[in-house]
Amino acid sequence: MNKATIIDDAYDYIKALKMEVESLQNELVEITNEERDKPTIVASTSCLEESVQMTEKCKVEVVVSTIDLNKFNIKIVCEERQGGFTKLMEKLAYLGLEVTSINATTFKGVVLNTISVQGRELEILKAEQVKECLMQMVTYN
């Protein structure tokens, strides 16, 4: 291949990429317009608001489900706060729980933490004990 062929191929490739970008941008605009036209459904028990700024406090929810002896699934829904996730991890460590899986989702000032934990200590914890400790941390800190 000579330089002219390489430059010509590069030009054609860049041109094809530009066309693909334009096509994807048009598709994105269409999807955005379709979503804007769809009616919004808001659940009555939802903590989320239409505006980005939360004017009312979110209903705090802590659910602890026992999987096995000293193994739990934890679901926490609360207001998003700076340092809140760190405090949550510290509280779990204080309780002697080792995090095996975690997922944190935030939307408009509300955070959903879904955590799988396992007890490291010989002490057997009950789901209700874990729930009470986490509820105190979420509501008072």
Residue 54 has what pLDDT?
47
Q: Rounded to an integer, what distance in angstroms lies between the CA atom of residue 129 and that of residue 123?
A: 12
Helices 84-94 & 127-140, crossing angle to 10 degrees? 150
Give 10-residue mean pLDDT values along the chain (141 residues).
Answer: 87 93 88 67 44 54 84 87 86 86 88 87 72 76 54
Residue 91's closest CA among 26, 33, 141?
141
Residue 78 has what pLDDT?
85
Residue 41 has what pLDDT?
47
Residue 57 has what pLDDT?
57
Residue 14 has what pLDDT?
93
Residue 33 has what pLDDT?
78
Residue 49 has what pLDDT?
45
Residue 101 has what pLDDT?
92
Beta pairing class for 61-68 and 97-107: unpaired
Q: Which ranges of 38-118 would DSSP assign to H, the alpha helix?
A: 84-94
Give me Rg for the CA atoms of the chain: 24
